[in-house]
Amino acid sequence: MILGPIAVGVFSFQVLKQNTYEKLLAVNDIHTREFVSRHIDERYKILVDNQLIDIKSYVEEYQREVISEISSNESYEGSFIIVEKKSGSVFYDEAFFNQLDASYFDSIDYGNATEFVVGSKHYVVSKYTFSPWDWIIYGIYPADSIEALLKDVATTVFLVCALAVLLLFAGTIALSHFFLIKPVDKMSRFAEKVANLKLDEKLVLEGPDEIKRLGKTLDVMKNKLSNNLKKIEKANEELAQFSYRASHDLKSPLTVTKKISEYVLKDIDSGDLDEAKINIKRMHKQICSLEALVSDILALAKADLAAENKEIVDFELIISELKEKFKLILEEANCELIINLNINEREVYGEKIRYQQIIENLISNGIKYRDKSKPNSLVRLAINYQGDFLEIEVEDNGVGIPEKNQPELFKMFKRFHPKLSSGSGLGASIIKKHVDHLGGVIVFESSNAGTTFDIKVPINVGASV
């Protein structure tokens, strides 16, 4: 990071040095030329004009004036050296070269001198000859002073560049932190939480649109995961609850039957055959309820499987089977079943068993929960088309579902009229499962005047033709 500004500094120094050195040479040359013309040439002209050029004392006086002027020019940073070729004398400002002795100038080859190096000081040189007096005039100017200045400039350039690079670097870090590292860091923490299934945090990323979009996508992903997880948790909880209740309800009649059978043996041994007979009936009742429960559990399990091939559902057949099945039960219950089938215009394609179990369960409930205090018990079944839906409506004038229990109607193992029927409490769950699998909806209205179930199923759901 530091090499760049150094390179820029060195480069600018070199360029400036070269440029400035050339300018310095030019300026020094002008100064020297001016010195020659104003201090030497003009004096010479005065001597020529006044015809004093041949008078040696005048000439020498004027030459001394020039030489003394070399030393008196204090405001000027440069200086001049005059060499008299004939005598080899060198005149210079002793104050200017104060650390030198005269022998230094002996070693200079004046004819070829293009630069002066005095000690550690460098000077640029401009050389003129003044032939009338056989003089060589050197105008010199310290190159070091300009070099120091240039070094200052180069240092400034270096510092400015370094600062710029530093700012750029810091800016890049800050920007990358804001636009990249921070969102990535946030994302990684978010991913870690998601991995640990902690899904309550919302991810919002700041930064360019791409990052924001990524944040949104991840958040959507998390929400979907969360929803699915909730569904799984709910299903798991339902399954746990189901297996608890199912195993409980399966074990209960077995335990009772086993224990009662022991008493039956005792009763027979003790000759109490009447008690034994009653207890055999009790056992029979337990076994019947166990059988009913197992059938319902199987029905519930089947409701989750696409057990049958899809076909055109023959509702006429379902209804004739239904009538046969419920004939005796209806007679015993003194209950009337009225059927209204209006589905001739279109065919329904699907699994027969689902429709069959829905209808059978609803009618069975209607009969079971009839109101014995009412003179005519009846259950009415109507199947109609409602647009693209098949509507199955079952209405009864039974006891109704108590209002406080209505929200729990489709929950498993719920029985609201235990005195009227000793069912498994799974009937409504079975209906609901089938309706869900058919993509339909089920609603009900219930009061002590009776209950109406209304099911709407989209026609030909899942049809492959």
Q: How far is the CB of 290 from other proteins (least distance, A)?
A: 11
Q: Does 189 interact with other proteins (rule: CB under 8 A)?
A: no
Q: How far is the CB of 394 from other proteins (least distance, A)?
A: 22
Q: Which stretch binds other proteins (CB under 8 A): 115-123, 129-137, 218-226, 252-260?
A: 252-260
Look at phi and psi of residue 134 and say left if phi exceeds 0, alpha if psi is from -120 to 50, else beta. left
Whose CA is closest to 338, among 287, 295, 394? 394
Q: Does 277 interact with other proteins (rule: CB under 8 A)?
A: no
Candidate list 251, 277, 327, 372; residue touching other proteins; CB under 8 A: 251
Q: Which is nearer to other proteins, 212 or 415 (CB)?
A: 415
Q: Does 444 interact with other proteins (rule: CB under 8 A)?
A: no
Neighbours of 201 (CB within 10 A): 12
Candidate list 93, 249, 296, 351; residue touching other proteins; CB under 8 A: 249
Candidate list 79, 126, 257, 357; residue touching other proteins; CB under 8 A: 257
Where helices occur in 140-208 by DSSP H, the ranges are 143-176, 182-195
**Tokens of residue 357, six digits:** 């179990």
Burial of 415 (0-12, 13-18, 19+ CB in 10 A): middle
Q: Does 291 interact with other proteins (rule: CB under 8 A)?
A: no
Q: Which stretch binds other proteins (CB under 8 A): 19-27, 44-52, 258-266, 296-304?
A: 258-266
CA 208 to chain centre: 11
Q: Does 416 interact with other proteins (rule: CB under 8 A)?
A: yes
From residue 375 to residue 414, the character string flagging contacts with other proteins as x (rule: CB under 8 A) and all else as - is ------------------------------x-------xx
Q: Does 245 interact with other proteins (rule: CB under 8 A)?
A: yes
Neighbours of 96 (CB within 10 A): 20
In whole angstroms, how far apart are CA 29 and each of 81, 82, 110, 465? 14, 15, 17, 106
- Residue 281: CA atoms inside 13 Å, Cβ hemisphere, count? 6
Candidate list 282, 310, 374, 411; residue touching other proteins; CB under 8 A: 282
Q: Give the Cα separation of 359 and 60 in Å (integer).
A: 146
Q: Give the Cα separation of 303 and 299 in Å (integer).
A: 6
Q: Does 199 interact with other proteins (rule: CB under 8 A)?
A: no
Query: What are residue 112's phi and psi, to 5 degrees?
Result: -105, 0
Q: Does 230 interact with other proteins (rule: CB under 8 A)?
A: no
Q: Give the Cα separation of 322 and 337 in Å (integer).
A: 10
Q: Which is nearer to other proteins, 63 or 361 (CB)?
A: 361
Candidate list 108, 165, 194, 256; residue touching other proteins; CB under 8 A: 256
Candidate list 260, 318, 335, 430; residue touching other proteins; CB under 8 A: 260
Q: Give the Cα separation of 250 and 274 in Å (integer).
A: 28
Binding site for other proteins (CB under 8 A): 244-245, 248-249, 251-253, 255-260, 263, 279, 282-283, 285-286, 405, 413-416, 418-419, 425
